[in-house]
Structure formats: C-alpha cells, structure tokens
C-alpha cells in the first residue's frame, strides 16, 4: 500500500530537476539541432527555411574549416599531453611530505580559481611589446602575439597556467587513496622507486588520470576565452579554433544555421572522444 | 501508470515554464493607450558624458513637447552585442524600441530585414546633413536612418614637430623619420589601430584614401589599395615608423601613444583632442586627412522601428536631436562631431576651435561599404589586415584572396 505513494513522492521530487535539465539542456540541444538543418540568418529573415544538410555540406566542403579542425585537434593533443605530464609532476611533489606543504597546496590552486578572462587579460598585459614584463626581461619589443608560433605558445602557456593546477589536484586526490603499505611491500621485494612508479603508482592512478584526461581534452577542444582575449583569432586566422568559428557564425554573422552546424559537429566530436576514453578505461578494468 | 503520472508532471511543468517565458514579450507595448502622454521608447548605448548629454537633450524635448514622454532603454555599449539585443526584439516582432541609435554599418542589413521605417515617408530635410554621412542610412534608394552624430578618422600630427601636414605618404614617412631622429623622446613616427578588429579597417580605409583607394566590395584588388596595404605593412616592417606593438593596438592605445607625446603621427578619431587635455601633446595637436585626402567616416544613426505605433512622436524626437542647437550642445559636452552642417557655426568654434579641423576632415571622409552582410565582409578584411600586418602574408596575395572572398559575399547577400 505504501509503495505507490512513495513512488509518487519520488517523481515529484525529481520532477523539478528533470524539468530544469529538459529546459536548459535538452531543449537547447534539440533546438540547435533543428536550426542546423535550416537556413536561419537573423538579419535576413526572408531567406529562412529548411535547408536539409546544406549547412553541414558547406562546412565540410570548406578547406578553411578543415584547417580549423586540424589546428584545434593539434592544440588539444599537444597542450593536454604537456598539461597531464606537468600536472602529474606537481601532484607527485605535493604528495610528498615537506615543510609548508599545506601552504603550497593552497597556492597551487590559485591560478585555477582566477577567472579565465581575468587571467588572459593579465597574460596579455605581460606579453605587451612596450610595457610587458617579457619584453622588459629580454630587452626586446617583439609583438609575441603577432607571430603564428609565438601566439600559439602564449595561448598554450596561458591555458596551461590555469589548468595544470586542476590536473594536479585531481591526481593528488588519486595518489592519496593509494595505500602506503603496497609501496612498503614493493620495497621489501627489492623494487626501486622508479620501478614502483611505473608498476604501482601509474596503474593505480589510472582512474584519476582518466578523469583528468577527459575533462582536459574536452575543454581544450572547446577553448575560446583565452584566444578571444589574447589574439582574437589572429595573426590572420592562424589561431581560430572550433569555438571561435562557432562564436563568429552565431554572434558576428547572426547565422544560426551555420553556427548550429558547427556546434552540432563539436558535440559529436566531444561524444566520440568521451566514449573512446570510457571504453578504453572499462576494457582495462575488465582485464584487471 | 507511473509513466502516465510522470508525463502529467512534466507537461504541467513545461506549460508553466512556457507560460512564464511568454509574458515578458509585449509588456511595454500599448501601455499608453489611455489619455495620458504618449510614451516612446528610445534605445541607445550611451553612458558617461554621452549618456548625460542625451538625457539633457531628452529633457529639453519633453519640455517642448509635453504630450510625449521618452523612456530611455540603455543597451550594451559593445556595438556587436547592442545589435544582437536590437535584433532579438525585432525578430520577436516587438513595437519597441520605437526609435533607436544604430551604428552606421548596420542600417542596410536592418532595412533589408524589413525592420526599419522608410523615413522618406516623413519628408526629412536631408539637405541639412553632412552629405557623406547620409549614405549609411540608405538602402535601395530609400532613407531608413539619419545620422545623429558623426565621427571622422584622420591623421593627427604634432604641430611642434611637423609644420604642415604631409601631402603624400612619402612625405609622411620622411617627416616621421626626421622627427624621430631629432627628438629622442619621440619613440614612434606613426601610430594606428592594427589589432584584429573593426578599427584596423577604419585605419586602412583612411590610408587607402590617401592613395586614392576605396573599399568597394565588388572591386577591392586595385593598385591603390595594394599600395596602401603595402604602406601599412612597411610602416611596421620596413620603414619602421610604427612599432610592432601596433598589431595589438586599438584606438585607446593609439591615443595614449599620441597624447603622451611619444608619437609624431597617429590615425585616430577626434576624441583625441579632449583625451589629450593635461597630457604632453596638449595644445600641439593638428588634425588633417591622411596624405591630403584620406579619412574614414563613422556615423551613429537614428532609425525608427517599422512596427512602432508612435512614428510621428519618434520622428519629432529625431528632428529635435538633429537640430543645430542640440547638436552644438552635444558636441561641446561630449566631443561628438555634429551631423548637420548648420551646427558647424561660430558658437561651436568659439568654444572648441578644433571642430574647424574636424569639419575639414569630415568633408573628405568616406564610409565603409554599405552592405547588408557587412559583418561577414568585415571579418574577411580583419583577417587580411591581421595577416599582412604581422608579416605572415604578402600584401598583394592577401588582398587578392580577400577581394575574391568579399566579392562573393557581397554578391550572395
């Protein structure tokens, strides 16, 4: 007798959450998908209509879009690899006992707590050819952001400065749940520190590594704010990424069809990557 | 059964959400159907002194027209965001704002979308306006917006370092190099907006004018434009009269460099005069077209919503804002150059003599292309300029590529 009423209560309790999710996630997603199949340019209402796959065809047939895709992917692979490696090193250091560790752990988190836009503007100021600290130190007036490679390095550093702490904290949490006695057992068996790192630490850290990797890959793929502030996509179009193109299609050109198509492609890409990672992770667990 | 209950819960919730979302649409419409004064909504972006000048002008207007009340709707100060906010209202079919300010590069696209009232039906006195400023408000032979105030980008020069403004680009380079050599405090020969944004286009257009070039979307790849683009690139990388830093400069940094006395020449807008007060360059500022003939015209236009229920009252407000007296007051309070010829009079010159120079520059200044898809054209031009100024692509090649892209965009829109 009690069950139906507790069921009803359950539905009632989750209903607000479901509604909110439907209205802020499912609805915009579906609406965007629908828009991507239509011709919707706000400034040209008379041309609105169903376009089928036209937006996608235009996008995939555009050699410039292929370049954007390639450069976003390259940035993601390189920057995430470096961030993971550096983040792991920071985490290992923070895991050791040393005087003032609490203070250092707190300090490491600061970059992550600074809003990206604020951080990016600070980096831009530091990179300024006339008044920037970098020009002062090297005694030059190079416009770092006007060179293709220096601009990318600046973007990667500004992004990494903020995200390495994030990786480090996740990995540190992972390190802390590894029981200390297995290292003792390894030492008794005559294993060196290096060996223990590869054979014990890394495999046991895999769940934490996976979490950090998924988060970082997806957000590197979507990078926008740092680029928007630092280079505006320049010099030329050499630092335009997927999100930058989405922004331009939607907000500069008011093209909700074309912009919708880019963002749907980004969604698919994100899902594929997230799926691939989780699959990799699960297979591994089954073996172990 | 369970599923049915869930569905009921969801539909009720959704209905509530939709109902809430639907109520704010036409809130301010038709509120004044009764006997009281007629209320018109005026959208603008002004803050600070500009906002105050507008408020003062509106108060005068309400005093002269007691039957009309003006409700000011302040939108974003960012030009792109401002346009989006307007567009969202128009897409929703709103009758408000009745009258609004809009940047001179947008009226054509808004008119094409059918959102603007054809002002010719109100018989405007177009002869009163500075002639070159009217083109931005015209679309397919009709007037959809009139200029509220204009802006002119030209060449600022230091009267203590350069006796007369250079008549050719070569003269400019020579004068800049000579002044830099003679004064160690002068670090830059020429400063201009070189960042990847709209300002780079206005700076380029001013320089192109000095070479006899112009921004015709159908034909960008002209010898004059090539020379102008090469000059712009060379000023950073060959003659080196401009620092590499200009590739990141917007008008603020350009003004800083000039006002602080570090630059001989600067391409910029008239706000430099008021912004230089108390700075090293104050009192030593000359303003002229680039190489005698190059200048860019910007205009803030006023237009009326095609769905407005108060067109007569809105038009009265526009007439008030574009009357010579109100324009002079605004120019003195904000530095905004008037859009009507009659405002360039003794009252104005007595208080702010530099408007004489502004008027001269305004006479030769030209608009950016009036095109319904200007934002798209602007994006291609910005990419081209950024790529040339950072010495990534040779000017000729970049111009040829951009010209064919822009031609396609202009033809398809």
CATH code where residue A232 lies: 1.10.3720.10
What are B305-359's pLDDT values in tens digits?
999 999 999 999 999 999 999 999 999 998 899 999 999 999 999 999 999 999 9
Given this model, what pLDDT does residue B11 score?
A: 44
Q: What is the pLDDT of residue B35?
A: 60
CATH number of the domain where residue B277 is located: 3.40.190.10
Q: What is the pLDDT of residue B138?
A: 92
Cβ neighbours of A246 in B, within 8 Å: none
Rounded CA-CA distance B1/B160 in Å is 89
Residue B49: band (very low, low, confident or very high) from pLDDT cuts 50, 70, 90:
confident
Determine the pLDDT at residue B29.
Answer: 42
* A46 with B247: Cβ contact below 8 A: no
B113-163, pLDDT tens digit by residue?
899 999 999 999 999 999 888 989 999 999 999 999 999 999 999 999 999
Give the nearest partner residue to B84 out of A148, A236, A251, using CB atoms: A251
Tell me which chain B residues have a C-beta less than 8 angstroms from the C-beta of A23. Answer: 14, 17
In this structure, the answer to whether residues B253 and B322 fall within a common structural domain is: no
* Closest partner CB to B9 (pick from A15, A23, A46): A15
| Mean pLDDT for the stretch of residues B353-367 | 94
Kindly provide the ipTM of the predicted complex, given to two decimals.
0.83
Same-domain check for residues B249 and B381: yes
With bands split at pLDDT 50, 70 and 90, how would you rate the model's confidence at B30?
very low
Least confident among A184-188, B4-8, B344-348: B4-8
Out of A19-28, B79-88, B91-100, least confident range: B79-88
Counting the structural domains of chain A, the total is 1
Biggest CA–CA distance in chain B, Å, is: 91
For residue range A107-144, list pLDDT tens digits in order. Answer: 998 999 999 999 999 999 999 988 889 888 988 888 89
- Of B274, B313, B280, B116, residue with least CA distance to B183: B280
Q: What is the DSSP string of A19-81?
A: HHHIIIIIHHHHHHHHHHTEE-BTT-GGG-EE-TTHHHHHHHT-HHHHHHHHHHHHHHHHHHH
Instruction: State yes or no: pLDDT of B10 exceeds 70.
Output: no
Among A234, A251, A256, most B C-beta atoms within 10 A, so best to mutate, is A234
For chain B, the average pLDDT equals 89
Cβ separation of B389 and A146 shorter than 8 Å?
yes
CA B226 to chain centre: 25
pLDDT band at B396 (very low <50, low <70, confident <90, very high): very high
pLDDT value of residue B3: 45
- CB-count exposure of residue A207 (10 Å: 0-12, 13-18, 19+): middle
> Does residue B32 surpass a pLDDT of 80?
no
Q: Do B189 and B262 belong together in one domain?
A: yes
Highest-confidence segment of A174-188, A248-262, B147-161: B147-161
Establish if A215 belongs to a structural domain: yes
For residue B12, being part of any structural domain is answered with no
Q: Residue B179: which domain range? A: 160-283+373-412
DSSP three-state, residue B277:
coil
Rounded to the nearest 10 degrees, the angle between the axes of helix A148-176 and helix A202-221 is: 140
CB A156 within 8 A of CB A79: yes
Domain membership of residue A133 as a residue range: 62-287
Q: Which residue in this structure is represented by tokens 């015709």?
A: B216
| 3-state helix/strand/coil string of B347-387 | HHHHHCCCHHHHHHHHHHCECCCCCCCHHHHHHHHHHHHHH
Answer yes or no: do B5 and A147 touch at CB < 8 A.
Answer: no
DSSP-derived 3-state class of residue A97: coil
B96 and B51, same structural domain? yes
Looking at the fold, whether B214 and B135 belong to one and the same domain comes out as no
Q: What integer pLDDT is reported at residue B309 of this predicted model?
A: 95
A33, HSE (Cβ side, Cα atoms, 13 Å): 8
Is A14 inside any structural domain? no
Neighboring chain B residues of A147 at a CB cutoff of 8 Å: 390
Given A145, A238, A251, which is nearest B80 (Cβ)?
A251
Is residue A38 one of the residues assigned to a domain?
Answer: no
Q: What is the pLDDT of residue B26?
A: 38
Mean pLDDT of B385-406: 96
Does B83 reside within a domain? yes
Identify whether A235 is preceded by a cis peptide bond (ω within 30 of 0): yes
CA B130 to CA A6: how far, in whole Å? 76
Residues from B in contact with A at Cβ < 8 Å: 2, 5-6, 9-10, 13-14, 17, 80, 84, 87, 91, 109-110, 112-114, 195-197, 243-245, 247-248, 372-373, 375-376, 379, 382-384, 386-387, 389-393, 413
Q: Does one domain contain both B397 and B275?
A: yes
The pLDDT score that the predictor gives to residue B285 is 96
**pLDDT on residue A279:** 86
Asked if B143 and B100 sit in the same domain, the reply is yes
Is the pLDDT at B284 greater than 80, yes or no? yes
Is A207 in the B-facing interface, judged by CB distances under 8 Å? no
- Is 70 exceeded by the pLDDT of residue B12? no
Looking up tokens 């996608």 gives A56
Whether B128 is covered by a domain: the verdict is yes
Query: For chain B, what is the domain count?
Result: 2
Which pLDDT band, with edges at 50, 70 and 90, does A3 fall under?
Answer: low
- Quick one: pLDDT at residue B80? 73
Q: What mean pLDDT is predicted for residues B211-222?
A: 94
């Amino acid at each position: 007798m009690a069950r139906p009423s507790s069921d009803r209560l359950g539905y009632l309790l989750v209903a607000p959450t479901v509604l909110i999710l439907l209205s802020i996630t499912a609805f915009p997603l579906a609406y965007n998908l629908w828009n991507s199949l239509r011709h919707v340019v706000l400034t040209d209402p008379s041309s609105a209509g169903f376009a089928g796959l036209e937006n996608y065809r235009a996008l995939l047939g555009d050699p410039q879009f292929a370049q954007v895709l390639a450069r976003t992917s390259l940035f993601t692979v390189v920057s995430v690899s470096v961030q993971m490696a550096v983040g792991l090193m920071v985490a290992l250091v923070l895991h050791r006992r040393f005087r003032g560790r609490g203070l250092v752990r707190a300090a490491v988190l600061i970059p992550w707590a600074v809003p990206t836009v604020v951080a990016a503007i600070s980096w831009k100021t530091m990179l300024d050819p006339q008044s920037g600290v970098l020009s002062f130190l090297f005694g030059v007036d190079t416009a770092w952001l006007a060179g293709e490679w220096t601009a990318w390095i600046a973007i990667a550093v500004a992004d990494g400065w903020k995200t390495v702490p994030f990786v480090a904290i996740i990995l540190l949490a992972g390190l802390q749940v590894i029981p200390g006695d297995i290292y003792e057992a390894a030492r008794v068996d005559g294993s060196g520190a290096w060996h223990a790192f590869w054979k014990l630490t890394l495999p046991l850290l895999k769940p934490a590594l996976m979490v950090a990797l998924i988060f970082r890959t997806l957000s590197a793929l979507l990078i926008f704010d740092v680029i928007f502030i630092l280079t505006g996509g320049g010099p030329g179009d050499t630092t335009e990424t997927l999100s930058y193109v989405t922004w331009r299609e939607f907000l500069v050109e008011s093209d909700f069809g074309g912009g919708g198509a880019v963002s749907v492609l980004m969604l698919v890409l994100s899902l594929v990557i997230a799926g691939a990672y989780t699959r990799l992770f699960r297979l591994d667990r089954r073996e172990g | 059964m369970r599923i049915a209950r869930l569905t009921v819960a969801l539909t009720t919730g959704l209905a509530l959400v939709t109902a809430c979302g639907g109520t704010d649409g036409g809130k301010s419409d038709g509120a004044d159907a009764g006997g009281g004064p007629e209320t018109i909504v005026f959208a603008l972006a002004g803050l600070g002194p500009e906002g105050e000048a507008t408020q003062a002008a509106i108060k005068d207007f309400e005093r002269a027209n007691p039957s009309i009340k003006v409700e000011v709707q302040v939108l974003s100060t960012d030009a792109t965001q401002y346009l989006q906010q307007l567009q969202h209202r128009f897409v929703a079919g709103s009758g408000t704002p009745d009258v609004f300010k809009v940047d001179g590069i947008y009226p054509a696209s808004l008119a094409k979308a059918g959102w603007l009232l054809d002002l010719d039906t109100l018989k405007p006195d177009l002869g009163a306006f500075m002639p070159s400023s009217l083109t931005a408000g015209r679309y397919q032979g009709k007037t959809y917006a009139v200029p509220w105030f204009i802006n002119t980008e030209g060449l600022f020069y230091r009267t203590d370092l350069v006796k007369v403004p250079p008549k050719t680009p070569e003269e400019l380079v020579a004068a800049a190099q000579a002044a830099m050599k003679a004064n160690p405090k002068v670090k830059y020969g020429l400063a201009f907006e070189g960042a990847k944004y709209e300002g780079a286009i206005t700076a380029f257009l001013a320089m192109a004018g000095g070479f006899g070039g112009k921004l015709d979307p159908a034909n960008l790849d002209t010898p004059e434009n090539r020379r102008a683009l090469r000059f712009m690139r060379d000023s950073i990388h060959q003659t080196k009269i401009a620092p590499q830093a200009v590739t990141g400069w917007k008008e603020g940094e350009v003004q800083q460099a000039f006002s602080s006395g570090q630059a001989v020449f600067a391409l910029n807008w008239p706000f430099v005069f008021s912004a230089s007060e108390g700075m090293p360059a104050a009192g030593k500022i000359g303003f002229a077209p680039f190489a005698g003939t190059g200048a860019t015209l910007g205009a803030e236009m006023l237009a009326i919503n095609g769905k407005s229920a108060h067109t007569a009252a809105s038009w009265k407000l526009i007439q008030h804002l574009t009357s010579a007296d109100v324009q002079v007051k605004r120019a003195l309070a904000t530095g905004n150059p008037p859009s009507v010829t009659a405002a360039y009079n003794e009252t104005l010159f007595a208080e702010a003599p530099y408007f004489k120079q502004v008027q001269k520059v305004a006479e030769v200044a030209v608009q950016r292309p009036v095109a319904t898809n200007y934002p798209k054209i602007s994006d291609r031009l910005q990419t081209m300029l950024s790529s040339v100024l950072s010495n990534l692509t040779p000017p000729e090649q970049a111009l040829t590529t951009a010209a064919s892209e822009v031609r396609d965009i202009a033809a398809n829109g």
